[in-house]
């Protein structure tokens, strides 16, 4: 199991390294070992702990509506709204340059706002990574310490994904009958449901199997996750439809939402070929979500046993 968990981590780590390498190789950024930018020091503006990453990325020195880091990409002076003093504002020149680049490449430019609604989570992550690195590179603060902190921040962001569906107490069928007979009937229904959807396949095993000897991911191997997803959906549907004694409703709801979370994690892992950020985030969260599910199931079992022993 430790080996499989290590392989899970390797997939996750490689995804981050891959994204960073793609953008640095594509846009030609180099690492500079400075701590502060001399051009800023002259104006007594030091790049220290008081200058946050957010303020650096969102800085617009000439207030022309184009962020400093993007002006730098187009060869503009971020401190002048008309860098070449030709009577055409930098903002308008950049729009023209984007249109030309888009027509030459036959695809949308990286920064066109109208593309936003069609972006995958990977696209959004990539834009954020790109803009952050560009801003840091322009300011001359991309040293090893900055790289380490940026990596930690990106890993944290990738590890936080909210559930798409969260059930509420109104979603389950509660009965005002807490009798021993009602509890036993509920226990029997729950046990029968679980027996119909026994999950024996190990998700970590499938992830390990999907790694090829060349270091790629075999998408077909990930299709083995489909039966697991199907069983989870069956359990979720059954738990929503069954009658639940009110005294067990909160414990039932917790288990239901934990099944939903794990099911979403496993479903998102399959997106590795189309939305790698969502997939890697799902892999990073799977273990904790699975442990939480086991904990809540045990809590429900304990609650049932306590009611039956009274």
pLDDT band at 228 (very low <50, low <70, confident <90, very high): very high
Cα(186)–Cα(245) distance, integer angstroms: 7
- Residues 277, 158: contact at Cβ < 8 Å? yes
> Position of tokens 């994204």?
19
**Domain regions of the chain by residue span:** 2-158, 169-309
pLDDT category at 7 given cuts 50, 70, 90 is very low
Q: What's the mean pLDDT when you consider all of the chain?
A: 72
What is the spatial distance between Cα 306 and Cα 287, in angstroms, rounded to a whole number? 29
**Weakest-pLDDT range from 126-135, 190-199, 296-305:** 126-135
pLDDT given for residue 127 in this prediction: 58
HSE, side-chain direction, 13 A CA sphere, residue 158: 29
Residue 253: other Cβ atoms inside 10 A: 21
According to the model, what pLDDT value does residue 283 have? 80
Structure tokens at 285: 């969260």
Task: Decide if pLDDT at 237 tops 90.
Answer: yes
Tokens (6 digits) for 38:
């001399």
The pLDDT confidence band at residue 29, using thresholds 50, 70 and 90, is very low
Q: Which is more confidently placed, 89 or 252?
A: 252
Query: Residue 5 is encoded by which pair of tokens?
Result: 């968990």
Q: Place 77 in a pLDDT band, splitting at 50, 70 and 90.
A: confident
120 pLDDT tier (thresholds 50, 70, 90) = low
Tell which wins on pLDDT, 254 or 285.
254
Q: How far is 293 from 203, CA to CA, in rounded Å?
A: 15
* 298 pLDDT higher than 60: yes
Quote the pTM value.
0.57
Mean pLDDT check: name the lowest of 31-40, 80-89, 299-308: 31-40
pLDDT of the residue at 79: 81
Q: How confident is the model at residue 183 (pLDDT cuts 50, 70, 90)?
A: very high
Give the phi and the psi of residue 245 in degrees, each rounded to 5: -55, 140
pLDDT mean over 48-71: 64
Give me the mean pLDDT over the 264-289 stretch.
82
- How far is 89 from 87, CA to CA, in rounded Å? 6
Residue 178 confidence (pLDDT):
94
Helices and strands per DSSP (H, E), number in the chain: 13, 2
């Amino acid at each position: 199991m430790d080996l499989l968990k290590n392989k899970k981590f390797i997939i996750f780590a490689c995804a981050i390294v891959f994204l960073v390498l793609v953008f640095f190789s594509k846009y030609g950024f180099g690492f500079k070992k400075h701590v502060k930018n001399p051009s800023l020091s002259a104006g007594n503006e030091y790049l220290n702990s008081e200058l946050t990453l957010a303020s650096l990325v969102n800085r617009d020195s000439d207030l022309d509506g184009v962020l400093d880091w993007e002006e730098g990409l187009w060869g503009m002076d971020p401190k002048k709204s008309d860098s070449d003093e030709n009577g055409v504002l930098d903002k308008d020149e950049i729009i023209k340059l984007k249109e030309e680049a888009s027509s030459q490449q036959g695809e949308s430019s990286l920064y066109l706002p109208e593309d936003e609604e069609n972006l995958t989570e990977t696209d959004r992550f990539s834009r954020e990574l790109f803009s952050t690195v560009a801003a840091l590179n322009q300011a001359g603060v991309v040293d090893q310490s900055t790289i380490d902190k940026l990596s930690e921040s990106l890993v944290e962001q990738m590890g936080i994904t909210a559930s798409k569906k969260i059930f509420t107490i109104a979603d389950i069928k509660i009965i005002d009958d807490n009798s021993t007979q009602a509890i036993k009937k509920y226990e029997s229904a729950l046990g029968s449901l679980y027996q119909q959807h026994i999950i024996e396949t190990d998700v970590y095993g499938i992830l390990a199997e999907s790694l090829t000897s060349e270091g790629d991911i075999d998408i077909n191997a990930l299709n083995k996750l489909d039966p697991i997803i199907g069983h989870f959906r069956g359990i979720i549907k059954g738990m929503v439809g069954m009658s639940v004694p009110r005294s067990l409703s909160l414990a039932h709801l917790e288990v239901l939402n934990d099944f939903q979370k794990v099911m979403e994690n496993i479903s998102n892992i399959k997106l590795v070929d189309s939305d790698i950020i969502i997939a890697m985030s799902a892999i990073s969260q799977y273990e904790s979500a699975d442990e939480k599910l086991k904990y809540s199931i045990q809590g429900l079992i304990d609650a049932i046993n306590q009611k039956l022993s009274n």
